[in-house]
Amino acid sequence: MTIIQSRGAAVLIGAASWTAAEYGLHRFLMHELRGRGLASVEHLKHHADVTYFSPASKKLASAAATTALAYPATAALAGRRWAGAFTVGLLSMYFGYEVAHRRTHTHPPRNRYGRWARRNHLHHHFGAPMRNFGVTSAVWDKAFGTYDDPGVVTVPRRMAPVWLLDETGAVKAEFADDYLTKGAARADASQVDRDRVAAFTNAAPALELGMDAGPKGGSPRGR
Ligand SMILES: [Zn+2]
Ligand SMILES: [Zn+2]
C-alpha cells in the first residue's frame, strides 16, 4: 500500500479538497448564480446583512448533500475505506470553515492568521464581492487570479463587526492600521433595500447612506 492509499492520507486529501470546494461553491454556486437556488439566496442574504447566517438545519442539509456526492464518487475510484476517510477529512474542514467564517464576523483576531482571515473576508464583503472567495486560505484565489491583497479595508459603519469598534463607535486602536469605517451607524429602511440589491448583484455595499452601491465585483483599486 502506498502512502497515498493510507487512510491518514485520505483524511488529509479530503481536508485539502474542502479548500477547493470552499472556493468553487462560494464563487460559482453562491455569487455567480446571483440568487438562483437556495445556496445563493442564503449567501447573498448574508452579504446584505452580515449578521445573518443560514440556520444549522440548512448547513446540515448541505453537509449531507456534500457527503452524498463525495462518498460514492471517491468510493468508486478508491474503495469504501478510503472514501470514508476522505469524507471525514472533507466534512471536518467543512465544519471548521463554518466555525472560522462565523468567528470572522463575531470575534476579534487572536494571531496573524486570524488577522489576515478577517481582512481577507471583510475585503470580500465590503470592497470586492467577486474577489477573495477563499475564507480559510488564499490558495485557490491565487491560483485563479481572484486574490486582492486586502490592504486597509473600508467598512460601512452600519455593517461593522462588533469586535472592530469601541463603545464610542470608533475603530479600536489595535485595528486602526487595518480598517477604516465610513457612513452612519444605522441603516434606514431604504438603505436596507439598497444593501439587498447590492448584495444580489455582487456589488460592494455603499459606504454612505443614500449613495449608489460600490463597484460590481471588481476591486476598488481598479484591478
Ligand atoms: Zn461572511
Ligand atoms: Zn460571499
Show the 3-state SS of the chain. Answer: CCHHHCHHHHHHHHHHHHHHHHHHHHHHHHHHCCCCCHHHHHHHHHHHCCCCCCCHHHHHHHHHHHHHHHHHHHHHHHCHHHHHHHHHHHHHHHHHHHHHHHHHHHCCCCCHHHHHHHHHHHHHHHCCCCCCCCCCCCHHHHHHCCCCCCCCEEEEHHHCCHHHECCCCCECHHHCCCEEEECCCCCCHHHHHHHHHHHHCCECCCCCCCCCCCCECCCCCCC
Distance (Å) from CA 71 to ligand 1 centroid: 28
Distance (Å) from CA 79 to ligand 1 centroid: 36
Distance (Å) from CA 27 to ligand 1 centroid: 13
Q: What is d(CA 40, CA 127) in angstroms, rounded to the nearest whole number?
A: 19
The domain segmentation of the chain, as residue ranges, is 3-200
Return the ligand number nearest the Cα of 43: 2
Return the ligand number nearest the Cα of 98: 1
Distance (Å) from CA 187 to ligand 1 centroid: 19
Distance (Å) from CA 200 to ligand 1 centroid: 14
Span 130-182, pLDDT tens digits: 999 999 999 999 999 999 999 999 999 999 999 999 999 999 999 999 999 99
Nearest to 149 by CA among 217, 203, 223: 223
Q: Give me the tens of pLDDT residue by residue for the chain, a chain 223 residues long.
A: 677 789 999 999 999 999 999 999 999 999 999 999 999 999 999 999 999 999 989 888 888 988 899 999 999 999 999 999 999 999 999 999 999 999 999 999 999 999 999 999 999 999 999 999 999 999 999 999 999 999 999 999 999 999 999 999 999 999 999 999 999 999 899 999 999 999 999 999 998 876 666 665 544 443 3
Distance (Å) from CA 204 to ligand 1 centroid: 13
Distance (Å) from CA 133 to ligand 2 centroid: 7
Distance (Å) from CA 81 to ligand 1 centroid: 35
User: Is the pTM higher than 0.85?
Assistant: yes
Q: Which three cell numbers stand for residue 210?
A: 443614500
Return the ligand number nearest the Cα of 105: 1
Distance (Å) from CA 1 to ligand 2 centroid: 41
